[in-house]
Amino acid sequence: MKTKADTLILFGATGDLSKRMLLPSLCALDAEDLLRDDLKIIGTARSELSDSEFRDMAREAIETYLPEHRRGSMAEFLGKLSYSQLDVTTPEGYAALAEKAGLKDGNDHQVAIFLSTAPSLFEPTIKGLADHGLTADNSRICLEKPLGTDLASSQAINDAVASEFSEDRIFRIDHYLGKETVQNLIALRFANVLFEPLWNAQHIDHVQITVGETVGLEGRADFYENAGALRDMVQNHMLQLLALVAMEPPTDFNPTCVRDEKVKVLRALRPVTSDETVTGQYRGGASDGEIVPGYDEELGRESNVETFVAIKSHIDNWRWNGVPFYLRTGKRMPERVTEIIVQFRDVPHSIFPGAKLCPNRLVIGIQPEENVTLSMMAKVPGIEHEGMTLRELPLNIAMDDAFTGKHKRIAYERLLLDLIGGDQTLFVRRDEVEAQWNWIDDIRATWAKDDKKVKTYPAGSWGPSAAIALAERDGVSWHE
Ligand code: BG6
């Protein structure tokens, strides 16, 4: 599906995601003339709002979350917005929505529907859409996470959506795929001849993926208690990063080829044993220069839900045989950082007796800094009596320097543009989501079987000491 949508319907348009990400992203795209002039954006939610009240809400959200220099002529963007009140669980409201979307006038409109509502509302929404002619071939649907809490619930959601939309009209969001450096990872691997010959078990010792956040529960206790770090971050974002690092070269940069290669990696993930995972939960401490309470204090009771998880994983295929992929993510870490470390092996033989040779390391910084650094050994300038002095030096490909003038984008900008344009390459296919859940469910079953208890860690630290031990047992240190 490559036809461009002329109508975008946002369900949950008054919600947090819409205010923080979707409306600001759309406004930024419009400011750069990336949206067609006649695009209609229809917000829907339960609140009673007139078009102009919705526009006022949108204006406020944009002024709060989008830097001024990216807003362009807001009036023009706000003019594209309208609102249709709707309770997705009752049939009333859908007819008015269909009319607002112009579906009654017999024109061949192309409609993109974005559901940023609770997954429990997906099924009634799809039924309502179907009953009012909004699921025909001219419409596509975009779903926000969480897509289930395990494989079975994810399959139920996927089945409900598939009953009305063919897979080529379903766009599942993983907002990490919209991040600039995540896409750059694909460019780095497949637009250069340099890395690919070395990108295998023969030359790579291990890979680390860290997603550290300084934030805590952020008032999401209900959601988080049913998720935990494993399901909230690893099941989706981290496994997508892993898949992009580990996949075979796709034959083309198109949705089928890229996703075919990712899913092979996800299916090749070896089930992990309980001692290959560490779970943690933060206690009070200092984070971002502030004294913060522990998870149990924020929640008001004890809980065994992990706010941190570290995993040693393996991909059972030829390329990655014996190469561990260490994953860790946590709330209330010392810093907000998402990075991928590709640690190369030692040189096979050193001709520099006495010199400590550090193996090459590729650091792909995804946030907050978007940069790529390759550490290399080099000679320290100077004349010495014997031999030469060597030092590890970083080769920086800092994105800010390399591409000055390009501003940091919200990940949703790319994804909304692709949804409207009908390009699924950066969206997750059903078989990927299900392979991800399969692996995650297995880990959770191991935890349940072993009655695994979270270890505590002070807010502002890199998780429980057992996480350090998990890597150090193999002679590996987490990159910090
Ligand atoms: C979301 C998680 O998917 O990703 C949140 O539900 C997390 O818990 C967020 O904070 C992190 O996204 P980003 O883009 O800030 O790294």
Q: What is the predicted pLDDT for the residue at 338?
A: 97
Distance of CA 325 from the midpoint of ligand 1 (Å): 21
Domain boundaries, the chain: 7-144, 177-410+445-472
Given ligand 1 and candidates 17, 177, 232, which is best to mutate, with the most ligand atoms within 8 Å of its CB?
A: 232
Residue type, 402: A
Instruction: Judge: domain 7-144, CATH 3.40.50.720.
Output: yes
Kindly give the number of the ligand 1 atom that is closest to the alpha carbon of 237: 3
Question: Nearest C-alpha to atom 15 of ligand 1 is from which residue?
Answer: 213
Q: What is the pTM of this model?
A: 0.95
Residue nearest to atom 8 of ligand 1 (CA): 232
Closest atom of ligand 1 to 211 CA is: 16
CA of 245 to the centre of ligand 1 (A): 20
Where does the pLDDT of residue 387 fall: very low under 50, low under 70, confident under 90, or very high at 90 and above? confident
Q: Beta strand 337-344 with 361-367: parallel, antiparallel or unpaired? A: antiparallel
Lowest mean pLDDT among 363-367, 389-393, 403-407, 464-468: 403-407
pLDDT in tens, 230-259: 999 999 999 999 999 999 999 999 999 999
Tens digits of residue pLDDT in 24-59: 999 999 999 999 999 999 999 999 999 999 999 999
- How far, in Å, from the CA of 215 to the mean position of ligand 1? 10
What is the per-residue pLDDT across 269-284, written as a single tens digit (0 to 9) for each?
999 998 999 999 999 9
Angle at 254 between CA 248 and CA 255, to 5 degrees: 90
Q: What is the mean pLDDT of residues 406-411?
A: 81
Whether residue 174 has its Cβ less than 6 Å from ligand 1: no
Closest approach atom of ligand 1 to CA 220: 8
Catalytic residue among 69, 237, 314, 479: 237
- If you measure from the C-alpha of residue 307 to the centroid of ligand 1, how many angstroms do you get, rounded to a whole number? 13
From the CB of 413, is ligand 1 less than 6 Å away? no
Is any atom of ligand 1 closer than 6 Å to the C-beta of 144?
A: no
| Active-site residue, 314 included | no
How many percent of the chain have pLDDT more than 90?
81
pLDDT-derived band of residue 223, with 50, 70 and 90 as boundaries? confident
Ligand 1 pocket, mutate which of 65, 237, 339 (most atoms under 8 A from CB):
237
pLDDT of residue 82: 96
Report the residue among 173, 175, 231 best suited for mutation to probe ligand 1: largest number of ligand atoms under 8 A from its CB: 175
- pLDDT at residue 274, as a whole number: 87
Would you say the CB of residue 213 lies under 6 angstroms from ligand 1? Answer: yes
Shortest-distance Cα residue to atom 13 of ligand 1: 176
The CATH T-level fold of domain 177-410+445-472 is Dihydrodipicolinate Reductase; domain 2 (3.30.360)
- Give the pLDDT band of residue 473 (cuts 50, 70, 90): very high
3-state secondary structure the chain: CCCCCCEEEEECCCCHHHHHHHHHHHHHHHHCCCCCCCCEEEEEECCCCCHHHHHHHHHHHHHHHCCHHHCCCHHHHHCCEEEEECCCCCCCCHHHHHHHCCHHHCCCCCEEEEECCCHHHHHHHHHHHHHCCCCCCCEEEEECCCCCCCHHHHHHHHHHHHCCCCHHHEEECCHHHHCHHHHHHHHHHHCCCCCHHHCCCCCEEEEEEEEECCCCCCCCHHHHHCCHHHHHHHHHHHHHHHHHHHCCCCCCCCHHHHHHHHHHHHHCECCCCHHHEEEEEEECEEECCEEECCHHHHHCCCCCCCCEEEEEECECCCCCCCCCEEEEEECCCCCCEEEEEEEECCCCCCCCCCCCCCCCEEEEEEECCCEEEEEEEEECCCCCCCCCCEEEEEEEEEHHHHCCCCCCCCHHHHHHHHHHHCCCCCCECHHHHHHHHHHHHHHHHHHHHHCCCCEEEECCCCCCHHHHHHHHCCCCCCCC
